[in-house]
Structure 1
Amino acid sequence: MGAGISKTLEKRKERKDAEATNKLKNEQHEPDKVHQTSSPKADGLPIVEATVRSSAMSCDRGQIGYMPPDQHDADVHAEDAMANFPTTSDRKDMTSPKEHSEDTTIKPTAMSSDQGHMDVIVSKPSPEEHIEGVNARLHAMMSPQSQTAATTSDSLSPIAPAKLVSACDEGLAAKMRENETRNDTRDLGNTGGSHIFTGASNVTIYGGTFNASTNYVYGDNPSTAREHSVLSPADRLVIVKWLSDINFRAFLADNLRKRAAKTGMWIFKDGKFVRWKGRRKGVLWGTGMPGAGKTILASIIIEYFINLAKEKGRTCVAFAFCRYTEELTVEQTLSGLIRQILEDHPSTFAFIIPLYEHHTLRETRPSQTELLGVLNAIASSDLFDNTFCFIDGLDEAKSNTQFDLLDTVSQLPINFMFMSRPLPLLKDHVPEADFVDIIVQDADIEMLIEDKLRGMKALAKLLEKDGWREKVLATVLKKSDGMFLVASLQLDMLRSCMNIDSLRKALDCLPSGVDAMYSATMERIEAQGDPSVVKRALTWLVHTRQPLSMDELLHAIAVYPDTFKFNPELLLTTDILLSLCCGLVTYEPRSNMVRLVHYTAKDFLEPYLKREYPDPHSMMACTCVEQLLHHSLHVWINPDPDRYDDEDSHEASYQKHPFVEYAHKNWAPHSRQSISLPIPVGNFIRQCRSFIAYDDEGWSYPECISAVHVAACLGFHHLLHDWINPTHRTAAIFPPPPNFDIKARTAKGGQTPLILAAGRNRLETVDVLLKAEGIDPWCADNDGWTALMYASYLGYSDIVQSILRFRDTDCIAKYTDGDTRASGGEQAIIGVNITNRDGNSALSLAVLGGHAAEVKMLLGVEGIGVNQLTGSGATALMLASQNGEKPIVQLLLRHENIDVDIADPQGITALADALTRQHLEIAELLRVHGAREPSVDILEKELGKR
């Protein structure tokens, strides 16, 4: 891959490999406790996680056996265990467990419940007769390697996931460790690892109950499996932070801080609530109008169940808060729920460890299905009598997230409770749900008023006169119309009353309804001395791209309104800003986050504030770039030239200057959302000489880049067009940067603007660059990657199409010894068959990326190297076959020049790849197209490598 991306991944892998090596060296062995976890392969094989007592263990490609300690002495060698593995014919007759005999070593089918052990048998599937033969021969092949290895329990590490190496000699152990990180695709990245069940599809487990979910199998009682946990608190913290960085507990604490004492108690007497609480699986859905206090009520209910779980035990509680400002995905929400369960119940780490090991090895994230599997396994286990999950603010989530969250309800044995405003379109999605109307009780409103008055000393003193306290209560109760939000804002309006006369006038003018309340509040703000700072703060909160901390917001508004330049002397305090905002802004001290008082405030303020800022994103973009200029990030100097980035230095800068991180990661998206490119932004890009660029999704290009590269990778195609084709007018506004060159390469990665734009799916930018005079689309970076390769591997169809349409006679002459008479088809294939340093072409990379649409486009190019070999000797067909990409295999087989029998240097063909990875449908397709059957020796060799 390109230097920018690949070298960063390589360095991370080196660090991880070094850490893993050191950890293995320092592990303390527990002789009688063995924890074995096998990491899943991409072809959907299972994980089995178990803790057993064992004195000896044997391992090979086809079977795994654990011997109970009382069945054999501790010095039994691996060869003895190997001799007792059943043959293929034996396996066919296995229908039930048999008792161990006293004088035998191990019978993989045996199970004795009183001995507290289990035997795991993994049998090789036999859809083809010769595969069965390979399995038997593989035992004979590997057994000599294990004859010298004593398999005592002392040799087994309690934390050796997917590394059953202790039963083998050092040579085989090294081979298995090497295979653990073997590249499954042969050509690209750390996408695979060795699997102890490789090639197995029929798995028989005697003893215990197991719950299967997707590609993972979980034992029925992880508390016994983890009775003596091998995870230290530090290890658990690492896993928890990997799983989710969302802390819903902080949201809960902030919500509970806002509640008035003794409010919300009515819900615990509601008949539907009581019935739901007594079930093991059910759905309760609370609905109410905006401002009815649903979130506070949900927090009160959650606190109740947390306390109940502490008292009774065997009750699992998890919760999530959906906020319009954060727009969490289903995966993020589920991860947050699982994180809480792990934190509260350490024994449940057994359920997440297989997922953690699988994805950390591949640097990927768990899918929605996998996370559902973990939740299902936890809730189905015998750890808990009841599991309760609460999701508040469902109406504030994205529509697709709403549907997906509701879909989880029917799949999980969990009691769910949702809170939202009425959602008629979703009501029928959960037909089994009981609905509870969230209607504010007068008593709760009175308690809210009393609670808020305790913080308004002057007003409380004033209300002691002549029954005015009762008058205020009655008026607020009537005009708040059952909404906590309105009642709270109404009391804020009364806060400034200094005498009975002003109080009477304020009560008479007290607005009813949410919008009327917001309008009245903005009138109060406008009447203040300088409302512009409040409007800037509200604009930031309405249009922010991510939740803001109070420190970030204070720094964002501490600028001169005409130049947007930051001045620390303009900083306000938290209390002053909250007072100026008159209740429209709420601050959560525990999380240090600041947000609008309610999502309905955003609906009101967005059109209102456009009077002040008709192009709000322009104001925000200018504020961001002025912050970056203030701290000289446009000419950032990397303190370690051997590294492509320096995250620690950036983090230190972010902590010292609170708004810099937001500005660094969001200035470009705000700029692109502006009506037109703000001049300060254009000037900032022009000044960039050594800049770390962040993208919309938080992606960063890990090399300091100059102005033309910044504009290309972040998608400022209009600016690039003006630089490439300057006119008198555009040159006056946005003059090209010094030494402007559209073919300039980055200092270390050697990437051109076109390569960067293609790698970030900037179609308009790619089109602008392809029209520039002298552009070379086949130019490669230092790792040999071209723009077409990036687009093909990443699945950017439109960009692949644009590059394939490129025609330029000067460029053609460069690659055809000066001959410019090439036909249209010849012009298109000039660079399509170029390979990178790993020997991959655009076609093989499209296959590795699993992108059938891009493969189809490339196969349509005349002269495409459909049989071209990669650096390891694989063809595109072989790669597709081993990765199980059936649609791509079908496309390749339709090509008139395809050769199905090409073999790599080890003699492995596409059919051999398909068979050894059990992609049987692909194997059948290859046979239909005349593929030769591989020999048993070839299959054995391929299986032995894995």
Structure 2
Amino acid sequence: METTASIIAVTQLCEKVIKYIIAVSGAKDEKARLRSKIRGCSSLLLQLQDEAADSEEVEEWTQTLELLSAPLARLHEALGLTAVALSSRDGVREKLQWPFKEKDVGMLVEAIDSEMAMLSLALDGNTTRLLIGTNARSKRNEEDLKELKATLKLDMGTTISTLESLGGDLEKIQITQNGVQGGVDKLHERHDTKEAIEQRESILKWLTPIDHASQQRDAISRRQAGTGGWLLHSQVYQDWLGTSNRTLFCPGIPGAGKTVSASIINADLRERYGRDNTIGLAHLFCNYRRQDEQTLDALLSGLLRQLVEPQASLPKHVEEFYVSQKGFSDRAEATARTLQLVASTYSRVFIVIDALDECSASHGCRIALLSRIQELQNTCGINLLVTSRFIPEIVEKFKTASIIEIQADRDDVRRYLSENMSRLPGFVRNKVELQEEIISKIVEAVRGMFLLAKLHLDSLLGKRSPKAVRIALDKLPTGTDAYDSAYDSAMERIEGQMAEQTELAKQALAFLTCAREPLSTMKLQEAMCVEIDEPEMDPDNYPDVKDIIASCLGLVTVDDDRSIIRLVHYTTQEYLERTLDRWFPAAEAMIADVCLSYLCLNRYADPAYLDPDKDGNWYQYAAMYWVHHARQAPSSLERVVDFLTQEISLIRSYISWRVPLFTPEYIKELWITGLHFAAEYDLEDVIAPLLQRGSDLSRRDVYGQTPLLTAARHGSKAAAEQLLRHGSSTDERMDKGNGAQTGDTALHLASEIGHVPIVRLLLEAGAATNSQGENSNTPLSISVYSGRTEVVQVLLDAKADVTFHNTGKLDSKSITLLGIASFRGHMDIVQLLIAAGVDVNERDKRNHATALFYAAADHSIDCVRILLEAGADPNLPAGNSEQSLLMTVCHRHQKHSISIIKMLLDAGADVNYVDSEGLTAYYIAKRKDSHIAQYLLERGADPELGLNGRPYPPNS
């Protein structure tokens, strides 16, 4: 039990150190890094403790735990050193500053990592590997620990002394067997088995991997202590709290503090109801930079996860949802239903949505989200709070809701400014009256915009005298242009720094403004470390995150829990995007060059190279987005061509984010050439240079495509023009690997995707209009099947053969083009084909059926109407039994059956037709749908005709 006690002691010390980390100020990045590592260690220890308690193999676990005594002792010592450095001593009570350098944190993390590796081996149950590992690592880890102590200038005497005073020393903690068992029992109350835990985590992660709690922590961390009380104490907010099924709309101008206000409300709700398991709490922070990932399903799944995660066991509705929807990408409907079921299990539910205006309006996402939330209110009586800018369509949606306008309270602004006077030069800190003057003038200027108060305060940081401060105060911008003026001032101050600081800031701001996705601090550092055209990275060229932030003079911040570095506000993003040509005229070219230089590093040209950290570094971004940046940077053309001729590097980047389980073997296949890549992404300007360097127009990729076929498949007209100009042939076909090259032509591929400009281009270049491709399809038949109306018109104008029957899309047997269009319900194409002169009563060889048969059988009511108006005969039978069309509709009774039957009868269909098996429409309807049967009687059906009482079907 001694080792078990040690595990518990180290776990307790982990929690204590985390509290100390939270308590000190400064060094956000290092704090987050160390805190995250120690939390991971604590989680591993708890898992180890649980495994040891659950295992029936007592003797084996005893041996395993004995082997852990040395790693646990070293781990305890490393954590002890951290605790000593972080704890307040000598009666000092003010908030301590972060005591570690970046190198110190790296050594601490490495020391903890080394011992965690041993704990992981223990969890794997491999005693042999653990024994080898502890012996192999013991001496090295001891030396690393000594080096760490020397670096931190601490001795174990000091450490033990301090730990004793903290009640945390390993030798001083007395844990009885009963105490240990009590801890184990508590773990068992929370978790049934290891498998249950893993299943639970899998389901939660499947719902959404997003950590909504960390988003809340990021937002609340920006709150100035003591602010926001006016909102929480308002009567409108109190009424919203006290009554179910209420909506509170909190609009505000940009920079008023809406997100921080939402986080304050979240914190208040947690404090009030967090321990009440009958009340559900959830929130969403919409973000304009994350619109691609914040889909309707993702947003609903985020709410669902937050409502189920606090529960001891997942509701059966969620487990059933997981089983039924796993593997499906479009699950918004099912998510909404499950969310409703889960919400109904709570007595009350509070949902807070921040920045609804930043939720994507494309594809109806924002409207759909509000609609789903409205359904929740109608069925479950939830309380909803929404913040947003004053967007007319959003304001209209909440016209009946209670409203509190979010604006910076004057007292809150004064409090913020007072707390930050220490940031200003010494001559300000020493003059109380000057401080008051600064506070009063900024409060007056900001007019409810908290962000503006920060920007105005930042603008005073470099002033040299009281006179300079007063001149700046007199020029503080106000009104609608205040942000632009404040950002102008900030950028001018950035340009007024020393040259290297200015360069550092402007490069970082350019990356953050133009990046296609949020960047982690590590990604930005790696991107800024790249030296153009250098074959490898120099580790001494990495910029420090603190230096980047400092050089940007308040325009950049870091979300601690996620280590995402970003512009301080979306108004900053909007400003920098509008003024990109003014401040960073070569931003896109710079980013394109960085991406391409990174992808061309020597290591990536080696087919055997595997990058274990590719998800965390710049590689994935560069591989996915270099094209986007290069398109907007003509000056990068030569570098683009250079990259496209480096086959291994190109193939690696192309497949790295397309193939889930990447291995070096994939690179051995010719996935793509530079010409294929240019064709796929429509990079017309690189085609001629690539050909000059020896690229082959006839070379095929892994899919059997030539560059021209690739251009046609992806709708790349400009590239297709270039390829045709340089010798590509419209007769080129897909090669499925047998060398026969009888597959589709470029015209087939362009017709299928409906790219009219390329279809026209290929026809002008002499493409064969009636060429048969895969499954004997023609360009016209494949465009008819795919519903490409404009392409069909273009091909008809080019005299494509409308009498052609064969299409493999439905069957290997013959079917008319009009039959295909009717079966697929393509009404416009049916009209085009009729206008082109096709025979509406032609029967195919597949079912001896007309187009009207397919339209009616598939209940395409509009197509039925069009065909009847064009003279289609409703009495032409189909199938081996020569069944009438009316009988087929009765057999497939669906929503529009009676409407179609009426249309057929009105057009002269024989209601009493008897087929070769003795069946009538009425006989079928009587056994399928009584409403249809009654209608047929009303239209003259003879109930005595048919099988005369024999069962249906006849052979049953």
Distance 1:788 1:305, change over 3 A: farther
The alpha carbon displacement at 1:687 in A equals 3.4
1:779 pairs with 733, 745, 754, which one?
Answer: 733
Q: Does residue 714 of the first structure (1) align with residue 659 of the second (2)?
A: no
Partner residue in 1 for 2:625: 666
- The 8 Å contact of residues 443 and 453 in structure 2, kept in 1 or not, is answered as yes
TM-score (norm 2): 0.60
Letter paired with 1:775: S
Partner residue in 2 for 1:479: 445
The alpha carbon displacement at 1:752 in A equals 1.7
- The 8 Å contact of residues 754 and 783 in structure 2, kept in 1 or not, is answered as no
Q: Does residue 339 of the first structure (1) align with residue 271 of the second (2)?
A: no
Distance 1:330 1:902, change over 3 A: same
SS at match of 2:562: coil
- The 8 Å contact of residues 520 and 563 in structure 2, kept in 1 or not, is answered as yes
1:527 pairs with 492, 496, 503, which one?
Answer: 496
Q: What per-residue deviation string (whole Å, max 9, x for no partner) do you get for residues 94-117 of structure 1?
A: xxxxxxxxxxxxxxxxxxxxxxxx
- The 8 Å contact of residues 806 and 828 in structure 1, kept in 2 or not, is answered as no
Partner residue in 2 for 1:834: 774
Partner residue in 1 for 2:277: 313
- The 8 Å contact of residues 821 and 829 in structure 2, kept in 1 or not, is answered as no
- The 8 Å contact of residues 307 and 342 in structure 2, kept in 1 or not, is answered as no
Letter paired with 2:847: I
1:860-879 equivalence runs, <5 A: 861-862=800-801, 865-869=804-808, 873=812
Distance 1:693 1:899, change over 3 A: farther
The alpha carbon displacement at 1:776 in A equals 3.8
Letter paired with 2:613: A
The alpha carbon displacement at 1:275 in A equals 2.8
Distance 1:537 1:690, change over 3 A: closer
Letter paired with 1:449: L
Task: Give the Cα–Cα distance (whole angstroms) in 1 for the partners of residues 817 and 686 of structure 2.
Answer: 44
1:745 pairs with 671, 677, 700, which one?
Answer: 700
Greater fraction of residues in strand? 1
Partner residue in 2 for 1:285: 249
Distance 1:372 1:263, change over 3 A: same
Partner residue in 2 for 1:902: 847
Distance 1:318 1:555, change over 3 A: same
Distance 1:692 1:476, change over 3 A: same
Letter paired with 2:774: I
Task: Give the Cα–Cα distance (whole angstroms) in 1 for the partners of residues 437 and 498 of structure 2.
Answer: 32
- The 8 Å contact of residues 684 and 719 in structure 2, kept in 1 or not, is answered as yes
Q: What per-residue deviation string (whole Å, max 9, x for no partner) do you get for residues 825-855 of structure 1?
A: xx31113x432xxx88777876886767667
Partner residue in 2 for 1:652: 613
Q: What per-residue deviation string (whole Å, max 9, x for no partner) do you get for residues 634-692 of structure 1?
A: x46267xxxxxxxxx4563444xx22221111000111233566332233223345523
Letter paired with 2:519: L
Partner residue in 2 for 1:798: 756
Q: Does residue 271 of the first structure (1) align with residue 213 of the second (2)?
A: no
Q: What per-residue deviation string (whole Å, max 9, x for no partner) do you get for residues 58-85 of structure 1?
A: xxxxxxxxxxxxxxxxxxxxxxxxxxxx
Task: Give the Cα–Cα distance (whole angstroms) in 1 for the partners of residues 312 and 821 of structure 2.
Answer: 38
Q: What per-residue deviation string (whole Å, max 9, x for no partner) do you get for residues 169-226 of structure 1?
A: xxxxxxxxxxxxxxxxxxxxxxxxxxxxxxxxxxxxxxxxxxxxxxxxxxxxxxxxxx
- The 8 Å contact of residues 805 and 817 in structure 2, kept in 1 or not, is answered as no
Q: What per-residue deviation string (whole Å, max 9, x for no partner) do you get for residues 306-337 of structure 1?
A: 34442222222222222222223334333333
Greater fraction of residues in helix? 2
Gapped regions of structure 1 (runs ≥ 5) = 1-226, 640-648, 724-733, 812-826
| Aligned-residue identity in percent | 24
SS at match of 1:678: helix
Letter paired with 1:523: E
Partner residue in 2 for 1:234: 198
Task: Give the Cα–Cα distance (whole angstroms) in 1 for the partners of residues 544 and 641 of structure 2.
Answer: 33
Larger RCO (CA under 8 A, 6+ residues apart): 1
Q: What per-residue deviation string (whole Å, max 9, x for no partner) do you get for residues 413-447 of structure 1?
A: 24322212212343223433232111221221233
Distance 1:276 1:885, change over 3 A: farther
Distance 1:311 1:856, change over 3 A: farther
The alpha carbon displacement at 1:771 in A equals 4.8
1:386 pairs with 328, 348, 370, which one?
Answer: 348
How many residues get paired?
662
Partner residue in 2 for 1:298: 262
Partner residue in 2 for 1:579: 550
Letter paired with 1:710: F
TM-score (norm 1): 0.60
1:531-546 equivalence runs, <5 A: 531-546=502-517
1:214-233 equivalence runs, <5 A: 232-233=196-197
- The 8 Å contact of residues 856 and 891 in structure 1, kept in 2 or not, is answered as no
Task: Give the Cα–Cα distance (whole angstroms) in 2 for the partners of residues 518 and 245 of structure 1.
Answer: 35
Partner residue in 2 for 1:681: 640
Gapped regions of structure 2 (runs ≥ 5) = 1-190, 661-665, 850-878, 929-952
The alpha carbon displacement at 1:571 in A equals 2.1
1:511-522 equivalence runs, <5 A: 512=478, 513-522=482-491
The alpha carbon displacement at 1:528 in A equals 0.7
Distance 1:789 1:259, change over 3 A: farther
Distance 1:278 1:752, change over 3 A: farther
1:42-57 equivalence runs, <5 A: none
Task: Give the Cα–Cα distance (whole angstroms) in 1 for the partners of residues 321 and 793 of structure 2.
Answer: 34
Distance 1:323 1:466, change over 3 A: closer
Distance 1:357 1:761, change over 3 A: farther
2:524 pairs with 553, 557, 562, which one?
Answer: 553
Task: Give the Cα–Cα distance (whole angstroms) in 2 for the partners of residues 297 and 359 of structure 1.
Answer: 36
Q: What per-residue deviation string (whole Å, max 9, x for no partner) do you get for residues 738-770 of structure 1?
A: 432222102x43222123223333233234434
Distance 1:497 1:857, change over 3 A: closer
Task: Give the Cα–Cα distance (whole angstroms) in 2 for the partners of residues 769 and 351 of structure 1.
Answer: 55
Letter paired with 1:572: P
2:599 pairs with 607, 628, 632, which one?
Answer: 628
The alpha carbon displacement at 1:877 in A equals 8.5
Distance 1:923 1:396, change over 3 A: same
SS at match of 1:384: coil
Letter paired with 1:902: N
Distance 1:507 1:804, change over 3 A: closer
Partner residue in 2 for 1:254: 218
- The 8 Å contact of residues 623 and 654 in structure 2, kept in 1 or not, is answered as no
- The 8 Å contact of residues 529 and 542 in structure 2, kept in 1 or not, is answered as yes
Point out the more displaced range, 235-244 or 263-272. Answer: 235-244
The alpha carbon displacement at 1:526 in A equals 1.4
- The 8 Å contact of residues 625 and 663 in structure 1, kept in 2 or not, is answered as yes
SS at match of 2:645: helix
Partner residue in 2 for 1:887: 826
Partner residue in 2 for 1:448: 416
1:596 pairs with 567, 591, 599, which one?
Answer: 567
- The 8 Å contact of residues 600 and 649 in structure 2, kept in 1 or not, is answered as no
Distance 1:869 1:479, change over 3 A: closer
Q: Does residue 436 of the first structure (1) align with residue 404 of the second (2)?
A: yes
- The 8 Å contact of residues 792 and 843 in structure 1, kept in 2 or not, is answered as no
Distance 1:803 1:559, change over 3 A: same
Task: Give the Cα–Cα distance (whole angstroms) in 2 for the partners of residues 842 and 306 of structure 1.
Answer: 62
Task: Give the Cα–Cα distance (whole angstroms) in 2 for the partners of residues 520 and 347 of structure 1.
Answer: 54
Task: Give the Cα–Cα distance (whole angstroms) in 2 for the partners of residues 677 and 410 of structure 1.
Answer: 50
Structure index of larger Rg: 2
Point out the more displaced range, 507-516 or 589-598. Answer: 507-516
- The 8 Å contact of residues 283 and 433 in structure 1, kept in 2 or not, is answered as yes
The CA RMSD measured in Å over matched residues stands at: 4.8
- The 8 Å contact of residues 200 and 314 in structure 2, kept in 1 or not, is answered as no
1:422 pairs with 390, 401, 410, which one?
Answer: 390
